Structure 1
Amino acid sequence: MAKGSTYKEVPKFYEDFEIGETRMTAGRTITEADIVMHAMHSGDWMPHHTDAEWCKTQPFKKPIAHGNATFSISTGLTIQGEPLNPHGMSYGYDKIRYPHPVYAGDTITVEVKVISKKDHPKSPDHGIVTEAKTTFNQNGDCVCYAEHAIYVEKKKT
């Protein structure tokens, strides 16, 4: 850890991850400001997200959060309060889906579950740990699902 860093480190090697281990995040309420700020950052001003009058004519009746905003906020929730693992880093995400809409006022939480481990094909000193990240709203509906691949160092033998 760098001198003066405030990050708490908890080393976790590839071998330390167990398939099936699960944790839940704290909740976070999505706001209208979240939706507008994401539209500003992304340039996505589609009426589904920003035109309340147009949304009244649609089945969902009111503006919905951008799927990738929900994904981004969900990702942030999974690292809040978690210690830094100096032996792993994000390798990417797969199978991102948004099965239910998210509205301003919805509170989301994320379940993180280790679903697989495999050797890295080009780096014998590392493996890939895959976590399923399932985001739920306050009603228990899945609003985002993604699989997160983590590039993790193996213990030295």
Structure 2
Amino acid sequence: MFIQKYYQEFEIGEERTTIGRTITETDIVMHAGQTGDFFPHHMDKEWCKTQTFKKRIAHGTLIFSVAIGMAANVINEVAMTYGYERLRFTHPVFIGDTIRVKISISNKKDHKKPQYGIVTEKVEVFNQYDELVMFCEHLLLTEKKEG
């Protein structure tokens, strides 16, 4: 869906939540191939049995990529990604886990270019047990309405 939402129209505290997405073994294998990250934590089922979690875990970068893609169901024509801050992976995601993303507006501030503002979206990713598995801040460079 395409919208035009200007800096002044964002409200601190407004939020939205995505539908779920199950992480599969195929996701992990494809991500390993795309990134070159074939660490045994993701790829070696037998080795993982000797480790803390006892099974393979999804790449943090995979969860970040999928979560941000899930959150991109609204395309704001007057805003663009300025960057990400405070990225943390707080709990492992396993094959078969289903994640959902909660996006909430946590801050707004002026940009050095007066026609723009920075809107901060808090991005929280939860698994099917409602455990927080990842969070970050997404910074949006957003046009201001004239006048």
TM-score by length of 2: 0.98
CA RMSD after TM alignment: 0.7
**Where in structure 1 are there 5+ consecutive unaligned residues?**
1-7
SS in 2 for 1:103: coil
SS in 1 for 2:76: coil
User: What's the CA shift string for 1:20-45, capped at 9, x where partnerless?
Assistant: 00110010000000000000000000
Aligned equivalent of 2:96: 105
SS in 2 for 1:128: strand
Q: Give distance in 2, aligned partners of 1:26 and 1:37.
A: 22
Aligned residues: 147
Q: Which amino acid aligns with 1:79?
A: A
Q: Give distance in 1, aligned partners of 2:27 and 2:136.
A: 20
SS in 1 for 2:37: coil
Give the CA deviation at 1:85.
Answer: 1.2
Aligned equivalent of 2:131: 141
Task: Please point out which of 120, 123, 132 is paired with 2:111.
Answer: 120
Fraction of identical pairs, as percent: 52
Which has more strand, going by share of residues? 2
Q: Give distance in 1, aligned partners of 2:28 and 2:2.
A: 33
Q: Give distance in 1, aligned partners of 2:77 and 2:69.
A: 18
Aligned equivalent of 1:67: 60
TM-score by length of 1: 0.92
Q: Give distance in 1, aligned partners of 2:64 and 2:134.
A: 6
Give the CA deviation at 1:9.
Answer: 2.4
User: What's the CA shift string for 1:103-147, capped at 9, x where partnerless?
Assistant: 0100000000000000002x1000000000000000011111010
Task: Please point out which of 122, 147, 154 is paired with 2:144.
Answer: 154
Aligned equivalent of 1:26: 19
Q: Which runs of 4+ in 1 moved over 4 A?
A: none
